[in-house]
Structures are given as structure tokens and as C-alpha cells.
Amino acid sequence: MSTLQTLPYQTDPLPLLAALRPYGGAVLLHSADRTHPDGRFDVVAAAPTAWLTTRGPGTCIHGPDGSRTTTASPFDTLEQWLESPAAELIGEEALPFAGGVIGLAGYDLVRVLEPLPPRRSPASGFPDLIAGRYAWAVVTDHHTGTTRLLQMEDARPPPIVEMLAAGLPAAPCLGRKAPHLRGETDPDAYARSFQRIQDYIRAGDCYQVNLAMRFTGRFDGDPLALYAHLAQRHPAPFAGFLDTAYGTVLSFSPERFLRTADGVIETCPIKGTQPRSSDPVEDRQLAAALLASAKDRAENLMIVDLLRNDLGRSCVAGSIEVSSLFGLESFGSVHHLVSRIRGRLAPDISPLAAFARAFPGGSITGAPKIRAMQIIDELEPHARGPYCGSLFMVDGRGRMDSSITIRTLLARHGHLHCWGGGGLVADSTLTDEWAEIHHKVGALIGKAEAES
């Protein structure tokens, strides 16, 4: 029988996450910004009973009976993992996860899902998809001040009760400044890509393209210490941390990709950004300017239309609605325009199937989506890796939640990688777009320099 056990309330999930890292596959889905309407739950898990990695057309599946490789869709395996009964959450039905699949889909997973050519840029070294079957998790509800250990029938969790009773040491401290990152695209190269996109827009090939660049620096510290440092400075409602054999992902995302519950699917794209000011009067003026910006509203509306189409591939006809358009959401360093679109899933479409049909999020590609991604492939010199992908969890009840992995770092082989990007439209200016990218990365990790 599945169980749900009450634990002492964990106001901070990081000490428990640190204690669970030796068990492998440690993951945190973190509501670091509890002032946000969606900043309610933390989910901590580790030691998956099975896991898979996808690179291009091949998927390697690891389980209790060994490993095997297949060219079948990795989503077939994930669906099979969800056939096991979820934990029974009697009286706690609001909990967002009942045991199931947690994973990270990198941007290049799209090549498994859409007719795109092989990548032109070198691979990032990080899998296109890495996901595990997690039979237990510790879920904290910050609205009710409760923490629960949930277990599926075959769960074999570490001695979490005993670990908490003995007292957990504090999460590691950074003990040094955040690493210095340097842009890997020089201004002239970015200017050429910017102009190429403007040419495509004028020719009618596309309306918007999200162009990104990578920043890199040396880093040999503890990724969790860096995560703790940055999560305190930049709390985000859809933050996350994932330990893997291929690198550690640190995400401080403000953006939900897809959420499903009770047959309803919702997406919340961000498009439109304005830096914040420490002066309250100026900050209000900046927020008002963003709300009134015809350019930002037009960009947001393009992506809303794109995502209505993406959801339409999975929803009952006539059920899609825009529940909020151009809403202002303010975070530590930026204001954003956020819209909300929802619909009712068709009876024969699972949450994972809807995820695959809509991936990657339209707010980080452009429109039309396929053509925008082709242009991204042509112009971006570095693979995006986990950036602009999605950190997701889904269980057998049909509950799913997922972020878009913007504001995301990859610690790998002594280096730290970060990406920044922005949506280019007909009236974008080179100076403003270059400055916005550097502001986004600099606000997250500290001063970010261009390549000289």
C-alpha cells in the first residue's frame, strides 16, 4: 500500500537536498519565490528506480534489470513508468506530485519531435532528455506549513525520518564570489546574426526569432552552494536543481511551461522584459512603460497565438481560452509581461503527449515556430543544452507541472555555462537587444562581459 507520512515542516529544502545527493539523481523543484501566486510547493527526490537518457535518435534506459538502448520514442518509456499506481494522497489531493517521472528535456529534444535537420553547432555534452522514475518524494506545502513523505508501493527511500530527527547540517555556503562569465559571441558576430534575422523578417520568413548566446567561466566549486547563493538573491517560482552524471543544472526560472490538473492544461508564456530600479518611483515608471509598450505587447500576442495553436493540437475543440493577457509580474531584477492560456485536454491525450506536442515553449523559439527554430540552428554557434528546455514532473494521476529553463546554468567539467536571449522582431534595435541579453545574464550571475 502506498503511504503518506508527515514530517517536520521544512521551511528550507536545501539541507535535505544536500543530505540526499549521495544517493544519486537528486532533484529539487523549488518554489523559491513564495510571494508569487504559484510559489507554494517544494518537491525533493533522489535515487530513482530507473532512468533514461536520450541523445539524438537513441535512448539508453537503465533499470534494476540492467541497461538497454532503443530508437523508440523516450516518451513511450515514460508513459510505461506512469502505469504504476501513484501514491494515495487521501486528504492531500492538492499535492502536485504523487510519485512518477521527474526529468529535464533539453532544447535539442525537439529534433526527436519535429522535422528539423541535425544540429549544426557542436553538442553541449548534456543529454537531450534525462528523466527518472521517482517512487518517493518529500513534498512541502508552504501555504499549509506541512511536509509529507510520499511513497509508491515499490519505494525504498533513504532513512529520511531518522536523518531529520538527527538534525541536518546547513546547506553548503559558496564561500567566494560567483564565477565571472564571459560571452562566447563577439559583438560583430551577434550583429551579423541580428541583421540576418531582420532580413528574414522583411522577406516574410518569420515574425519573431529568439536569438541566444552562451556565457562561460571557470567553476570548480559546489553547484549546490552556488544554487543556494543565487536562489536567495533571485528567488523564482519555478526554480530547480538537478544532479546528473553529465553535469548539474541550476535553474531560476520565472516561467511555467505547461501544467495539467483535472483534465485542464495551462501555459503561461513570458514575453516582454524591463529592468527594475532600486528607486520606487522610477521602478513604477518602468513597470508602466512595459505595460504600455506596443512592441512588447505585440511580441507577447504573437507568442499567445502560437501557443493557442500548440495547445490546440492536444485540446478539445473550442475549449482554449486566454484567461489573462499582458499581465505584469515583477521579480527581483526585472518586470515581465505574462499571459495565461488554458484548454481542456482531449480524452485520448495524456499530459506527456501534450508536452511532446508543444515542446519547446514558443516563448523561446519565435514564430512561425518551425521556421524560427531553423533560423536558430543556422545562427547560434553553441547548442543550447538544458537552456530553453523544460524541468518537469508528472504522475499517474494526470498531474504535471513544468518550467521553461531560462535563467539556467549548467555546471560541467570545471566550467559554468549560462545563456541569455531575447525575441527579435521587425522594430528591434541591435543596441537594445545586446544590452538586454547582458542585463539578464549579469543580473543573474554578476557582471557578464562580451567577447572582445
Q: Which cell numbers hold the place of 285? A: 515608471
**27 has a pLDDT exceeding 70:** yes
From the list 271, 380, 433, 440, the catalytic residue is: 271
Confidence of residue 334 (pLDDT cuts 50, 70, 90): confident
How many C-beta atoms surround the C-beta of residue 300 within 10 A? Answer: 24
How far, CA to CA in Å, does 25 sit from each of 130, 237, 241, 433?
10, 22, 10, 37
pLDDT in tens, 206-244: 999 999 999 999 999 999 999 999 999 999 999 999 999
| pLDDT of 191 | 98
> According to the model, what pLDDT value does residue 286 have?
95
Please, what's the b/e burial string for 116-144 (b: 16 or more CB within 10 A of its CB; e: otherwise)? Answer: eeebebeebebbbbbbbbbbbbbbbbbee
Q: What band does 2 get if pLDDT is binned at 50, 70 and 90?
A: low
Higher pLDDT, 314 or 332: 314
Amino acid letter, residue 9: Y
Calculate ∠ Cα 111-351-235, nearest 5°: 85
Percent of the chain with pLDDT over 90: 81
- 76-112 residue pLDDT tens: 999 999 988 776 676 677 899 999 999 999 999 999 8
**pLDDT band for position 1 (50/70/90)?**
very low
Burial classification of residue 76, based on how many CB atoms lie within 10 Å of its CB (0-12 exposed, 13-18 middle, 19 or more buried): exposed
Residue 449 has pLDDT above 80, yes or no: no
- pLDDT of 51: 98
Domains of the chain: 3-167+179-449 (3.60.120.10)
Q: How confident is the model at residue 331 (pLDDT cuts 50, 70, 90)?
A: confident
Q: Stretch 426-437: mean pLDDT, rounded?
A: 94
User: Active site includes 271?
Assistant: yes
Q: What is the pLDDT of residues 280-301, one digit of tens each?
A: 999 999 999 999 999 899 989 9
Cell numbers of 209, please? Answer: 526569432
Q: For residues 136-154, give the mean pLDDT.
A: 95
The whole-number pLDDT of residue 122 equals: 67
Examine the pLDDT at 333 and tell me if it is beyond 90: no
pLDDT mean over 295-308: 92
More confident call, 424 vs 2: 424
- What distance in Å separates the CA atoms of residue 139 and residue 86, rounded to the nearest whole number? 14
Lowest mean pLDDT among 14-28, 81-95, 185-199, 261-275: 81-95
Report which of residues 436 and 448 the model is more confident about: 436
Predicted pLDDT at 452:
34
Residue tagged active-site, from 255, 299, 433, 436: 255
Owner of C-alpha cell 523561446: 364
> What cell does 409 get?
546554468
Q: Which of 24-28, 113-117, 224-228 has the lowest mean pLDDT?
A: 113-117
- Is 255 designated active site? yes
pLDDT digits (tens, 9 = 90+) for 56-83: 999 999 998 899 999 999 999 999 999 8
State the pLDDT at residue 174: 82
